[in-house]
Amino acid sequence: MSLIVQKFGGTSVANPERIQNVAKRVSRNFEEGHDMVVILSAMAGVTDSLIGLASEMSESPDRRELDVLLATGEQTTAALLAMTLKSMNYPAMSLLGFQAEVVTDCSYCNARIVDIGATRIKELLDKRNIVVVAGFQGIDQGGNITTLGRGGSDTSAVAIAAALKADKCEIFTDVDGIYTADPNVCANARKLDSISCEEMLEMASVGAKVLHIRSVEFALKHNVPLYVRSSFNEKEGTMVMNGDHDMESPVVSGITYNKNEARITMKRVPDQPGIAANIFTSIAEAGINVDMIIQNTRAGGETDLTFTVPKADFKRALDLGKQVAEKIGAEKVLGDENIAKVSVTGIGMKSHSGVAAKMFSAMAAENINIIMISTSEIRISCVVEEKKAELAVRTLHTAFGLDKVEN
């Protein structure tokens, strides 16, 4: 008998029939003798509609109250699953984040888990209950409800699995596992049997939303056996592996894209010490994360500075950029929301050269213009026009030999 944590995402609990299917799967595992803890997301689309409702009340809704509102999505599904299990005569109990002692810092809408008490979960498990926990939410030390950022219920699941020292954590979603690229964009994407935490972290950080990045960080830090599987079939899924990688790792194992960033360019910035510090300090003080930065030197002691920020922060960052530009005597500030970042990731890149050249050539052959470039040890990212993102993913997938072989 083992302790299993299972998380079901939005599409897996999108309607009463799917919640009943989740109840069947969970009860089957329970009948096999396992201790079961189930973490749920809100029904697909519910978090978006709650955000929409909030924006009808205020242009920038108070973030504390927004979290109180958003947490209701997961409260609904947790209650619905627990009552379904009870109606099937299984002992079940739903818990909200605070009841499961999911303690976070106080960054509303993007809180980080700092501790999980889980005494109540353990007591319920000892009494042989199926414990259903509302994902995505926690409580800060001041007793306020917080949420973990979009996609955060994966992190609730892995963190709870870590706190309980669960034998495994299974993330059930609407695809069969982790693929070489988003299978909804690239029909030739291949399902991976396993992926290293390191590669998954890199893919999640550049937009593969199949796992919330902090869930992979938890799995890595606490050695949680983590699997991604489909809630619509019994296939094995993908294991996210922690540990040594063999030297034969593919040079490129995945292609990812992300449309969540926007670009800001400051034209004719004086080329002097302290100018970049001035610009990026004011952006950082506003709590805005800058991702890529490039600086082009022009003749005449001036530079053009381009950087990317999350789309959600674009307007604020543009306003701040304009204020700073005036102060430092830059000519003008331009913004572009219609960009996408396309990335190739792979541990094998550490010991191979020529990946960047191959990436750029493949994109050139499809007439895809590269606007910005950034690299890490195991990733290369390019900013391209938003409308070219999907074409770029498919092109690179083929260029790096990742397409599945039809048999």
Q: Are 401 and 188 in contact (CB under 8 A)?
A: no
Q: Catalogue the long-range contacts made by 59-66 (C-beta closer than 8 Å, 24 or more residues apart).
A: 63/108, 63/109, 64/108, 64/144, 64/145, 66/108, 66/109
Please list every residue from 137 through 166 that binds Mg ion, using CB under 5 A.
151
Backbone angles phi, psi at 218, to 5 degrees: -65, -45
Q: Where are the beta strands (DSSP E) in 120-175?
A: 130-134, 137-140, 145-147, 168-173
Q: Interface with Mg ion by CB under 5 A: which range of 3-11, 273-281, 285-293, 341-349?
A: 3-11
9 lines the binding site for ligand ADP (CB under 6 A): yes
- The interface mask with ligand ADP, positions 345-384, x = CB under 6 A, is ----------------------------------------
C-alpha dist (Å) from residue 257 to 53, 214, 254, 289:
29, 18, 10, 18
135 lines the binding site for Mg ion (CB under 5 A): no
The binder of 150, among ligand ADP, Mg ion, ligand ASP, none, by C-beta within 5 to 8 A per type, is: ligand ASP
207 lines the binding site for ligand ASP (CB under 6 A): no
Q: Which is nearer to ligand ADP, 184 or 297 (CB)?
A: 184
Q: How many CB atoms lie within 10 A of CB 234?
A: 8
CB of residue 290 vs Mg ion: minimum separation in angstroms?
25
227 lines the binding site for ligand ADP (CB under 6 A): no
- The interface mask with ligand ASP, positions 31-70, x = CB under 6 A, is ----------xx----x-----------------------
* Listed residue (37, 34, 12, 10) closest to 22, CA to CA: 12
Task: Enumerate the β-bridge partners of residue 168.
Answer: 4
In this chain, which of 78, 133, 210, 330 binds ligand ADP, going by CB under 6 A? 210
CB of residue 152 vs Mg ion: minimum separation in angstroms?
8
By CB under 6 A, the count of residues binding ligand ASP is 12
CA 154 – CA 168 distance, rounded (Å): 13
Q: Return the amino acid letter for 254.
A: G
Q: Which residues in this chain contact ligand ADP in the complex, by CB under 6 A?
A: 9-12, 41, 151, 173-175, 178-179, 181-184, 208-210, 254
